[in-house]
Amino acid sequence: MSDAKQPNIIFIMSDDHAAHAISAYGSRINETPNLDRIANDGMRLDNCFCTNSICAPSRAAILTGKYNHMNGVRTLHENIDASQQHVAKILQENNYQTAMIGKWHLGHGGNSNPTGFDYWNIFPGQGEYHDPVMIEMGEKKKFSGYATDITVDLCLDWLDERDEDRPFFMMCHHKAPHRPWMPDEKHMHLYEDIDIPEPETFNDDYATRTYAAQGAEMRVDRDLTSWDVKGEPPEGLSPAERKSWYYQRYIKDYLRCIASIDDNVGRLLDYLDEKGLTEDTIVMYTSDQGFFLGDHGWYDKRFMYEESLRMPFLIRYPKGIKAGTTQNAFALNVDFAQTFLDYAGIEAPEDMQGTSLRPILEGETPADWQSSMYYRYWEHMSEHNVPAHYGVRTHQYKLICYYGEGLGVPGAKDIKMDPEWELYDLEKDPNELNNVYSNPDYQEVIEKLKEELYRLKDKVKDFD
Ligand code: CA
């Protein structure tokens, strides 16, 4: 531990909040003034990616600083063994008061209960939006009110009761804006009289893509249910009108849930101001992965495509991060744990697999900084019918391999398919509409990317 004063760390994470629904990221569809406060007073990362775009696995990667084949949570069907080493345990052992409040989603009971936290109070599983049951230090309790408000109420209560002489690490994890997108009273009528713009790729026909995009069951017009959109479309609509109707119903509720998150981020920031904690506290906002907001005609995530791969990442630390800055160096969810430890002046254990983001947050990107990333989705052909895949993304390219089997992983289906590849030139085709894997002009690029893919796969010890 260094002699420097250890900063407080507040890690705010929502569930399925895509960066393109944050105004600091240039959202065309909503305003998030309080999230923007974090960006304006600190830094926005433009290339932060998850290593597996699905809830529990991303949460496990954040906590342990390890890829999913190492931390044991490859799919939604594997609970965490929380007896393993992770960042909260290390911080707790090094002077920090620690709390985990809200959505844990790594299983509960036995070895899956949160460890390393002085205080924890979690939603079981996905949790409920209204009047949620929570598990407080192992004991079930019913709360009345809206999950997003309750989560922050509990955070503020815990902060009030903490020991002011020691630093704190608080994980504030919202259930929202996860499906089924249920807003609170206050925001129920937001956007009622307007149409939310449809994304550029709304009518993607998947023409150049493999079976993966064509077969995915996450289409706004075909796969959203009346439960999702809380009603049935009016009769007599054309197919295009019907699709637009579903999109409006879906996206408005999604954005209403986010409006409540934004208000509650504001409450937390105001609290820090009132208590004189702003200068000494790192505040970070992210989401466990991205989400399709009608992009490619879809909702949900799982794919290595940009909208689901990208995580929002806003961070403020007046003492160490310059206000109003942005950074396009690569950052990964497996890097967060080591970043927290670095700021706390604690050396990371050897077996963590990420890199502290501190240099890039301080605006000094080392010459050898990571410029490629490894991705792997394991939950072959389960809900939403997305095949397992791995891939590599660089600043210019993305190569994806749908390898065509479940490999006996819990939650993956035992269905064999022919492997298929996709390549995107992100400079020419940022929307990933044009798979150029068979284009002769890219054969050399493909060879190099395959080498890089297998190098990364080895580096992270994914030896299946
Ligand atoms: Ca999620």
pLDDT at position 294 is: 98
Which residues, 6 or more positions from 153, have their beta carbon under 8 angstroms from its beta carbon? Answer: 145
Q: How far apart are CA 145 and CA 130, in angstroms?
A: 6
Q: How many residues does the chain have?
A: 464
- Tell me the mean pLDDT in the region 444-453: 98
- Cα distance from N-terminal residue to C-terminal residue, the chain: 37
Confidence of residue 441 (pLDDT cuts 50, 70, 90): very high
| Cα-to-centroid distance, 38 and ligand 1 (Å) | 21
Ligand 1 centroid to residue 128 C-alpha, Å: 14
Query: What is the distance in A from the centroid of ligand 1 to the CA of 9?
Result: 22
Q: What is the DSSP-derived secondary structure letter of residue 21?
A: G
Instruction: Compute the distance from residue 354 Cα to the ligand 1 centre, in Å.
Output: 21
Ligand 1 centroid vs 376 CA: distance in angstroms? 16
Give the H/E segment covering residue 459: helix 443-459
So what's the pLDDT on residue 406? 97
User: What's the pLDDT score for residue 2?
Assistant: 45
Question: Ligand 1 centre from 55 Cα, in Å?
Answer: 4
pLDDT band at 1 (very low <50, low <70, confident <90, very high): very low
Decide if 15 contacts 288 (C-beta within 8 A): yes
Q: What angle do CA 123, 129, 132 make, to 5 degrees?
A: 45
Angle at 317 between CA 10 and CA 343, to 5 degrees: 70
pLDDT tens sequence across 288-309: 999 999 999 999 999 999 999 9
Q: Which residues surround ligand 1, an ion (CB under 5 A)?
A: 15-16, 55, 288
Distance CA 48, CA 331 (A): 5
pLDDT digits (tens, 9 = 90+) for 316-369: 999 999 999 999 999 999 999 999 999 999 999 999 999 999 999 999 999 999
CA 54 to centroid of ligand 1, rounded, Å: 6
Dist. CA 219 → ligand 1 center (Å): 18
Please give the DSSP secondary-structure letter assigned to residue 162: S
pLDDT digits over 160-181, tens only?
999 999 999 999 999 999 999 9
Q: Using a CB cutoff of 8 Å and minimum separation of 24, what contacts does 345-352 make?
A: 345/1, 345/2, 345/4, 345/6, 346/1, 346/90, 346/91, 346/94, 348/65, 349/85, 349/90, 351/66, 351/70, 351/85, 352/64, 352/65, 352/66
**In angstroms, rounded to a whole number, what is the distance separating the alpha carbons of residues 262 and 33?**
7
Instruction: Characterise 193 by phi-psi region: left (phi > 0), alpha (psi -120 to 50), beta (else).
Output: alpha
Q: Side chain identity at 144, as an amino acid letter?
A: S
Nearest to 376 by CA among 392, 394, 389, 393: 389
The CA 20 to ligand 1 mean position distance, Å, reads: 15
What is the CA(288)–ligand 1 centre distance, in A? 5
- How many Å apart are CA 310 and CA 291, to the nearest integer? 8
CA of 139 to the centre of ligand 1 (A): 25
What is the CA(115)–ligand 1 centre distance, in A? 21
Q: How many CB atoms sit inside 10 A of residue 342's CB?
A: 18
The model's pLDDT over 176-228, given as tens digits with 9 standing for 90+, comes to 999 999 999 999 999 999 999 999 999 999 999 999 999 999 999 999 999 99
pLDDT of residue 464: 84
Burial class (CB in 10 A: 0-12, 13-18, 19+), 10: buried
Question: In terms of Cα–Cα distance, which of 228, 235, 222, 218 is closest to 249?
Answer: 228
pLDDT over 60 (residue 453): yes
CA angle 141, 145, 147 (to 5 degrees): 80
What spacing in Å lies between the alpha carbon of 16 and ligand 1's midpoint?
4
If you ran DSSP here, which 8-state letter would residue 146 be given?
B
Q: What is the DSSP string of 278-307?
A: TTTEEEEEEESS---SSGGGB----SSSHH
Summarize the confidence of residues 239-258 as an average pLDDT.
98
Report, as an integer, the average pLDDT of 386-412: 98
Q: Give mean pLDDT, residues 272-277.
A: 98
Confidence class for position 12, pLDDT limits 50, 70, 90: very high
- State the chain's mean pLDDT as an integer: 97
Q: Hunting for tokens 């702003």 — which residue is that?
A: 278
Q: Region 73-77: what's the mean pLDDT?
A: 97
Cα 423 from Cα 15, distance rounded (Å): 28
Task: Please tell me the distance between residue 320's alpha carbon and the centre of ligand 1 in angstroms.
Answer: 30
Give kind and range of the element (H or E) at residue 453.
helix 443-459
CA of 80 to the centre of ligand 1 (A): 16
Owner of token pair 């919202």 = 174
Query: For residue 109, what pLDDT is reported?
Result: 92
Task: Write out the E strands in 278-411.
Answer: 281-287, 313-316, 325-327, 331-332, 372-377, 389-394, 397-402
What's the gap in Å between 284 CA and the centre of ligand 1? 17
| 289 Cα: distance to centroid of ligand 1 (angstroms) | 6
Residue 130 per-residue DSSP state: B
Contacts of 357 (CB under 8 A, 6+ apart): 45, 331, 335, 336, 338, 339
Cα 172 to averaged position of ligand 1 atoms, centre (Å): 14
Predicted confidence (pLDDT) at residue 3 exceeds the cutoff of 90: no
How far, in Å, is the centroid of ligand 1 from the Cα of 319? 31
Distance 176 CA to ligand 1 centre (A): 9
